């Protein structure tokens, strides 16, 4: 399988980092096109892949083409390659807000798939949602799942839910980083060294998330297990509720969802 990326930004690097160590693909079969030569050299040296300015050398022979460019430059980039891709190539877009219907207009002969991944793919802990187009077969969807679950987990969703995915898991890591930073600040305020506080906070978030995933229990049930009557945890939970932390998180994700919808309309 030959996979070609249009765009060499942070999300492309996260995916490349995830798949480059997999046994089913060789680094020499991964291609990245980016308009910055320095960026290409960096990706080439770090991951031993092919990274070049311009996609002409691989676009006609790629089995999978992953569109990983910014929304504002998406249509220009698509116009540059749409007549060069092989009719059997799978087109995968990770462009926020770009609908399958618009992609299928540009690639009428290709199976088209839309994916919303997130940056923890870079550490094999990503979360990706996959929506399939009208000409996508099960085998095509399986390939997309293989790519994006190689560095985390992937789920199939209806396209109408992609804005919700964008706000929740796409933007979500940024919100969690803010929480980790705030938790470590509290640790420093209580007397801990910064590096120790960051490690304690980050591992606590990681472990808590792992408990939710592996036990299948509702987060509220797990919270109750930690919350002893009259103890320290309920004191902190009370302050969080009083200060509206839960509401702030809901509002932040809702705002991100609405922004994704607005970008799609543009």
Tens-of-pLDDT digits for all 266 residues of the chain? 999 999 999 889 989 988 888 899 999 999 999 999 999 999 999 999 999 998 988 999 999 999 999 888 888 888 889 989 998 899 999 988 788 999 999 999 999 999 999 989 888 899 999 999 999 999 999 999 999 998 899 999 999 999 999 999 999 999 999 999 999 999 999 999 999 999 999 999 999 999 999 999 999 999 999 999 999 999 999 999 999 999 999 999 999 999 988 877 76
Integer Rg of the chain from CA: 21
The residue assigned the tokens 């706000």 is 167
- The tokens describing 180, both together, are 């980790």
What length is written for the chain?
266
CB within 8 Å of 77: residues ≥ 6 apart: 6, 7, 67, 69
- Burial letters 209-230, b for 16+ CB under 10 A, else e: eeeeeeeeeeeeeeeeeeeeee
pLDDT in the model for residue 27 = 93
* Residue 266, CA distances (Å) to 21, 71, 76, 82, 263 in order: 37, 9, 14, 21, 5
Round to whole Å and give the CA distance between 64 and 211.
Answer: 35
In the three-class reduction of DSSP (H, G, I as helix; E, B as strand; rest coil), residue 7 is classed as coil
Task: Note the pTM of the prediction, 2 decimals.
Answer: 0.88
Side by side, the strands of the sheet bearing 3-6 are: 50-52, 30-33, 3-6, 64-67, 90-93, 112-116, 126-132, 152-156
Triad 103, 77, 260: Cα angle to 5°:
55
Sign of CA dihedral 51, 53, 58, 64: positive
- The tokens describing 22, both together, are 């997999």
How far does Cα 185 stand from its chain's mean position?
A: 27
31 and 58 in contact (C-beta within 8 Å)? yes
Mind listing the domains of the chain with CATH numbers? 3-163 (3.40.50.720), 172-265 (1.10.3730.10)
Triad 209, 212, 215: Cα angle to 5°:
135
Round to whole Å and give the CA distance between 112 and 122.
Answer: 24
pLDDT in the model for residue 266 = 66
pLDDT in the model for residue 199 = 98
Q: Partners of 30 in the beta sheet?
A: 3
């Amino acid at each position: 399988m030959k996979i070609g990326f249009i765009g060499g930004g942070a999300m492309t690097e996260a995916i490349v980092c995830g798949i480059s160590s997999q046994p089913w693909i060789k680094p020499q079969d991964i291609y990245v096109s980016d308009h910055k030569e320095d960026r290409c050299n960096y990706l080439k040296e770090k991951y031993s892949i092919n990274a070049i300015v311009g996609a002409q050398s691989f676009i006609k022979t790629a089995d999978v083409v992953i569109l990983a460019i910014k929304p504002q430059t998406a249509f220009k980039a698509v116009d540059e390659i749409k007549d060069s891709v092989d009719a059997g190539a799978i087109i995968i877009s990770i462009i926020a807000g770009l609908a399958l219907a618009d992609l299928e207009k540009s690639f009428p002969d290709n199976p088209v798939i839309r994916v919303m991944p997130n940056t923890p793919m870079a550490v094999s802990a990503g979360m990706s949602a996959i929506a399939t187009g009208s000409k996508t077969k099960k085998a095509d969807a399986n390939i997309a799942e293989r790519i994006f679950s190689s560095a985390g987990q992937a789920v199939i969703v209806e396209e109408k839910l992609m804005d919700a995915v964008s706000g929740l898991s796409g933007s979500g890591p940024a919100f969690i980083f803010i929480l980790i930073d705030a938790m470590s600040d509290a640790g420093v305020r209580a007397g801990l060294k910064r590096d120790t506080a960051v490690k304690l906070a980050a591992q606590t978030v990681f472990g808590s998330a792992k408990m939710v995933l592996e036990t299948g229990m509702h987060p509220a049930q797990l919270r109750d297990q930690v919350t002893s009557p009259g103890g320290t945890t309920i004191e902190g939970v009370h302050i969080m509720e009083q200060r509206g932390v839960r509401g702030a998180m809901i509002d932040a994700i809702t705002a991100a969802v609405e922004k994704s919808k607005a970008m799609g309309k543009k």
